[in-house]
A = this chain, B = another copy of it.
Amino acid sequence: MSARTPVTEGPPLVAVPHDDGVDAAVAAARRVIEALLATGDGTALDMGTVTAQLHSVADSLDRAAPERDRRLATMWQGEGVTRHDPVTGPENALAPPLTLHGVDDGSIRGTVTLGLPYQGPPGHVHGGISALLLDHTLGVANHWGGVSGMTAELTLRYLRPTPLFEPLAITARQVSVEGRRIRAVGAISAGGRECVTADGLFIAKHLPRPD
């Protein structure tokens, strides 16, 4: 995409977190994950109390949760975008979460800033986390392109370290559809420079959703 071409950012292509219900609890859980990592061992804080509080929350959630097979079915119903995936999912505390928008040139884009839980090399994003974000983003780009599928092959190239604590631009686009073979490419950039690129081959098939 040329930097000189103005683009119009469309509506989000992924589920957007709301400020109440489970999404709000998940946002609080993300704070807990990051704060536990920021604390580390050797703290003066009584970790036995923290542990007991978290088990108590988990116990009350477990008691209220539907049976697993039922939840596996219901989580796939709805508006066609997932609320539970580990990249964009407002219900998944593993997800940063990343919000992706369609752009009128056919590409998609999003911005995310990653903290301590996503660290690989000192002060930088784990290469596998970049792979996770890009695999998912290429999949969403295929949706936006009109034909999506499952990843068959994914190649990541790491051009320079990806920084933590700075806004990262994530872009992707579908580049070809030949029969059932779909190709999409994407990149993670920081400060206008590409850090990681991805090139994916996808096959236009989907696993059945449980019912």
Interfacial residues, chain A to chain B (CB-CB below 8 A): 20-29, 31-41, 43-45, 47-48, 50-51, 53-58, 60-62, 64-66, 68, 71-72, 74-76, 83-87, 91-94, 116-124, 126-129, 131-136, 150-158, 161, 206-210
Contact = CB atoms under 8 A, between A and B. Distances in A.
A34 B65 CA distance: 10
Contacts of A127: 135, 150-151, 154
A22 B39 contact: yes
B208 A122 contact: yes
9 contacts: A25-B47, A29-B36, A37-B84, A37-B93, A39-B71, A40-B84, A127-B151, A131-B132, A155-B156
A32 to B, nearest CB: 5
A38 B31 CA distance: 19
B47 A22 contact: yes
Given A29-B29, A71-B116, A131-B135, 16 more contacts: A22-B47, A33-B33, A33-B93, A37-B92, A40-B75, A40-B83, A41-B91, A43-B64, A86-B118, A123-B207, A128-B134, A129-B132, A131-B156, A150-B158, A152-B157, A154-B155
A94 B115 CA distance: 12
Contact of A36 (B41, B93, B122, B210): B93
A124 B157 CA distance: 26
A117 to B, nearest CB: 5
A146 to B, nearest CB: 19
Given A41-B91, A84-B116, A154-B156, A51 B64 contact: no
A36 B123 contact: no
Given A24-B51, A121-B207, A136 B126 contact: yes
Contacts of A86: 117-119, 126, 128-129
Given A20-B48, A117-B86, A38 B25 contact: no
Given A85-B126, A122-B72, A153 B156 contact: yes
